[in-house]
Amino acid sequence: MTDNDASERTDEQHYLSPVPMPAEDAVPPGICRQIYGMATYLSVPTADLAASTDFWVRGLGFVELFAVPGRVVHLRRWAFQDVLLVPGEPAATPSAAHLGISCVLGEIEPTRARCEQLAPGCTSGPDEKPWNAVELTVVTPERQRVVCTAAHPLDPTSATADYLRASGFDIPQP
């Protein structure tokens, strides 16, 4: 395949998502320490790299993949959930935009509890959403909004399943 053929890749040639299929007992894939070209990442300015790293690691479940002291801390959770903490002035108010991270249902409450222990009042939710998910919103010490989203399993008898089938998705019949 040449560089010009990149747009003609088939489904068998794409990257697979690390997000497990929705299930009440879904297991998170765990921390990814593989080195790869980051498809997307967020840079978060912070006045205190150490304190911010502590919150993201102990509260949100990231790990410090590597750091250049005083310049950058590269955090990672699952594959393709990368955040770079960089020196700078954080936003004056919580951002209007947010970083969304996929979770499994069993991670939502423990994440809420850990974040609240570290920074009381920093969470809202969890809330049930009409897109078949539960979401927890966390405002980090840098005032970055992080939305932890966990999908519920799709009920094959639901109107949502019927809509997806009618739209051409391969959703099994009940």
Element (H, E) at 165: helix 159-166
pLDDT score of 4 more than 90: no
pLDDT tens-digit readout, 83-127: 999 999 988 888 788 999 999 999 999 999 999 999 999 999 999
**DSSP states along 45-87:** EES-HHHHHHIIIIIT--EEEEEETTTEEEEESSTT-EEEEEE
CA 170 – CA 70 distance, rounded (Å): 49
Domains by residue range for the chain, with CATH:
22-166 (3.10.180.10)
pTM beyond 0.85? no
Q: Please state whether 61 falls in left (phi above 0), alpha (psi between -120 and 50) or beta.
A: left
Decide which of 34 and 47 is more confident.
Answer: 47
Q: Which residues face 87 on adjacent strands?
A: 46
Contact 155, 144 (CB under 8 A): no
Q: Which of 173, 124, 172, 117 is nearest to 148 (CA)?
A: 124
Look-up of token digits 């519920």: 152
Structure tokens at 142: 């840098």
